[in-house]
Structure 1
């Protein structure tokens, strides 16, 4: 923790990135850490290098939490949990713009679109989900569905609509199917999904009334069979089909506001697949630099939060105590990307999972501003080490001084009777509490020094010289190495045996 220009990046982030051999995830707003350390990490520490900069020209990472390789391993409950967690991260209001009802409804709509895709297609993308309220639903109305006859003028006889191979036949005029002029195609799709029994849209049982004759257990729950669509999705589709038009329009307006970033073609390209699976961070050596321009932070903050939380949560699915499987998260200026409550709690959870978090920020006041005082206390109480540089924050300096504690020292006082200047009077010896390290001591440390507090030993703070990379000849020899393509460095077929 240190104010701008005090050297927290030069003395903490850079030296560690030039030494830690295993996988790292690096918040690198300025791109400075990439420029200084990526080449050495790639060529000497043998890390595959990825840059996540969706709106920049140097993006090399694909990130999609709904990628098929991830989703196809999940059952319905885990799919639902995944979309719910992502939805919570996207639809997070700041204090000034809270509108809980509309935001929650917009999030519910997101969960419906995403969960339907994951159950039916085992994949989706942010672009597809963001575009769901405005996409063309005409091709999705199945010719086997009774709602097909509400979309098109269909061939009929005295006995009703004509079917061929179980499909309704639309009338054709000038080579084009004749649509009914006032058909609400989106509404018809919600109604169709509300009757969909199986995940395969082509299954005839979706359209023969089977939804009204599903086998149930003693508690009235549908007995799920292989390939069936969960009733939760049907119920949600039915809810949206019956939604008030005006209210639904308001919900979709809020939805579009939150999902706007995902309609960018650059973001679409960066999120249409997955460069690696989360577990690859343990199996392989990978360094991911999240490099976002200052002007793009507000726009991309939801996506960055999803990326960080997805990585963090998936690394906590399996314990690992092997040193070579450790994964380091360098979270420089993490407060800039909005609230990440899960990451704040990770120091208390991550030790047995081999995940090491390094929080880097300008002041405790910034954490309190974005997270609140109680969450700031969580960070301060759960981290194992605190590295404190010279600061100007008196309140936090007092807090650190209180954490370190006090010592007891003897005091002696002497008093004299009135009119007696030299002789006479009494002396007394007492005890008083004295700061081991005062707030002024902390605020006035040398700019080349740091104070390190170790959890469980805070009464014995360490005052050490800061390890600035630019004052270390060995570290200077490791910076600014050329970064090559991963294929060029790690392509096994090109290596000479």
Structure 2
């Protein structure tokens, strides 16, 4: 506790005594029955002296003078205390005054609700036993290493709570296995599982969204080509050969559409499937010699006199001529780039799943839908091109229609991207975040460490990407670079640092103490690495950060009640563990996840193609 020395005490007395007297000279008037107006008109500075020391003053009036002195002293002390606190607050801001959000801060927040689902939102944590939801349309990011509890603390809770449509990157299909039936039966979603490496899958054909019979179709085809063979963010030979492969992809798609529409027999003669899909484009490229296509130029041009169709076939022929006229070495490089990006489409199961289309991304804002991209962990390493195509294309397709002008686009779509770096480069998220939200698209991107993002987007690109996520969830991190950055983002505060000194002279030894302001991080980097498993931080733009708990779904009756509602076997097991009680009560016991999943009652009923 701080004490005052003799000099400081004398200074305080010098200030308090005259200040007390000045206040008392005013207070003595109302103590004797005068109102504010009368006090103003009759006030005399020396009146208090007369009240206290004049001979002809009644004892009760003299007593009021004593009381005025006491009141003046109290008032003087209060004034000094307020001045001291104001000065202290002013000093704090020298090095920063970062602090965690209080209960009052959270209640007043414009971005987060606390225990209130009426405004919807995305679950981002739990504070004092109540869920925190982010209600803004902006993006959310979460940095969390392996085994950090992100699935149980953020992914599955939102799948059991979010009422709109969802598109989920589900690397282990755990999200689908646990939540799909609830989303289907209770939340009223149409549920789809896309795992093209398995027979248990719905179909997704990107060319379903390209209608070359219309002028817009050509633009959509060019956009798809850029999605597969992106030139954005590339340079040198990679950019060049991606650009050349784009031309070849567009040309092959245009030729395929033309032959399917007007010369189907030509396709049959080469043994090519009558299907407008990416797999068939690759098949056409490998089976039909470009020289033969160019030799049939006049035949193709005489097939129709429709100007739009003639434009398409001429454009395809021009692109083939450009390819044929390349030298052997550049032609080989273009061919290698073209086929490398499409190699998965040679796999029988993959081809079967991508030659058909069982769900329409364009409907996700018209009706409630949940699409799980359930690539198993064993295939993630070879599926990066598919992940990149699927999510980039889904965003592009969704942005063809603006909900401001199309009234039946009434639902938001949450893209829940666990293991976000596995998708690869996503230019729209990096560059167009500002207006993506205006299309009713929300993103929750989850990564393990910032170095993953640096590798894909570069240092500046990763900074730009994260800047487009104004809500950031931070779990414990062991990466020093991440800990340093998050610590800096959480802010700094000012603390008092005490120092001791000792001087020795002929006269003896003297000791002294000093105190100075210094800066300290609100959360030190090493404190981020030792954060408790169930704790997290939430960074919000323009508001104090929140220190809270993870919103684990297990052992929380709010979430577990939802699973119990769709699984009779789970309900029976919970009742057995809790003396006949299964729902609606905190503190209930539940079976372990492995046992819960063994009942096989939490997966949606899928209607798959034969």
* Structure 1 contact 93–99 (Cα < 8 Å) conserved: no
Q: Partner residue of 1:291?
A: 374
Q: Distance in 2 between matches of 1:57 and 1:109?
A: 31
> Cα distance 1:359–1:253, how it changes in 2: closer, same or farther (>3 A)?
closer
User: Which of 454, 469, 472 does residue 383 from structure 1 map onto?
Assistant: 469
> Cα distance 1:422–1:259, how it changes in 2: closer, same or farther (>3 A)?
farther
Q: Partner residue of 2:255?
A: 116
Q: Partner residue of 2:311?
A: 229
> Cα distance 1:314–1:99, how it changes in 2: closer, same or farther (>3 A)?
closer
For structure 1, the residue ranges without an aligned partner over 5 or more in a row are 138-184, 206-223, 489-497
Q: Partner residue of 2:398?
A: 315
Q: Distance in 2 between matches of 1:71 and 1:287?
A: 28
User: Which of 187, 209, 226 does residue 85 from structure 1 map onto?
Assistant: 226
Pairwise mapping of residues 63-462 of structure 1 onto structure 2 (< 5 A)? 63-67=204-208, 70-72=211-213, 74-75=215-216, 77-89=218-230, 101-118=240-257, 124-135=276-287, 137=288, 186-193=290-297, 202-203=303-304, 225-230=307-312, 231-244=314-327, 247-249=330-332, 251-320=334-403, 325-345=411-431, 347-419=433-505, 424=510, 428-457=514-543, 460-462=544-546
- Larger fraction in helix: 2
Q: 1:420, CA displacement in angstroms? A: 8.4
> Cα distance 1:420–1:188, how it changes in 2: closer, same or farther (>3 A)?
farther
Q: 1:482, CA displacement in angstroms? A: 3.6
Deviates more, 1:266-275 or 1:104-113: 104-113
Deviates more, 1:420-429 or 1:476-485: 420-429
The 3-state SS of whatever aligns with 2:562 is: coil
In the alignment, does 2:192 pair up with 1:50? yes
Equivalent pairs, count: 413
* Structure 2 contact 503–509 (Cα < 8 Å) conserved: no
Q: Distance in 1 between matches of 2:210 and 2:251?
A: 21
Q: Distance in 2 between matches of 1:373 and 1:59?
A: 38
Q: Distance in 2 between matches of 1:432 and 1:196?
A: 83
Q: Partner residue of 1:173?
A: none
> Cα distance 1:32–1:242, how it changes in 2: closer, same or farther (>3 A)?
same
Q: 1:276, CA displacement in angstroms? A: 2.9
The 3-state SS of whatever aligns with 1:402 is: helix
Q: Partner residue of 1:35?
A: 177
The 3-state SS of whatever aligns with 1:359 is: strand
> Cα distance 1:314–1:456, how it changes in 2: closer, same or farther (>3 A)?
farther
The 3-state SS of whatever aligns with 2:311 is: coil
* Structure 1 contact 83–114 (Cα < 8 Å) conserved: no
* Structure 1 contact 387–453 (Cα < 8 Å) conserved: yes
TM-score (norm 1): 0.74
Task: Give a deviation string over 1:76-100, Cα, whole Å, max 9, x none.
Answer: 65144324323324x99999x9755
Q: Distance in 2 between matches of 1:414 and 1:233?
A: 83
Q: 1:332, CA displacement in angstroms? A: 0.5
Q: Distance in 1 between matches of 2:491 and 2:513?
A: 29
> Cα distance 1:74–1:44, how it changes in 2: closer, same or farther (>3 A)?
farther
> Cα distance 1:357–1:421, how it changes in 2: closer, same or farther (>3 A)?
farther
Larger RCO of the pair (alpha carbons < 8 Å, separation 6+): 1
* Structure 1 contact 331–359 (Cα < 8 Å) conserved: yes
* Structure 1 contact 408–434 (Cα < 8 Å) conserved: yes
The 3-state SS of whatever aligns with 1:371 is: helix
Q: Partner residue of 1:478?
A: 562
> Cα distance 1:196–1:232, how it changes in 2: closer, same or farther (>3 A)?
farther
TM-score (norm 2): 0.61
Q: Distance in 2 between matches of 1:4 and 1:462?
A: 23
* Structure 2 contact 252–316 (Cα < 8 Å) conserved: no
Q: Distance in 2 between matches of 1:69 and 1:253?
A: 25
User: Highest Rg: 1 or 2?
Assistant: 2
Q: Distance in 1 between matches of 2:507 and 2:417?
A: 64
Q: 1:6, CA displacement in angstroms? A: 1.5
> Cα distance 1:350–1:275, how it changes in 2: closer, same or farther (>3 A)?
same
Q: Distance in 1 between matches of 2:233 and 2:282?
A: 18
Q: 1:227, CA displacement in angstroms? A: 4.1
Q: 1:296, CA displacement in angstroms? A: 1.7
* Structure 1 contact 22–324 (Cα < 8 Å) conserved: no
> Cα distance 1:126–1:7, how it changes in 2: closer, same or farther (>3 A)?
same
Q: 1:421, CA displacement in angstroms? A: 11
* Structure 1 contact 335–361 (Cα < 8 Å) conserved: yes
Q: 1:248, CA displacement in angstroms? A: 3.3
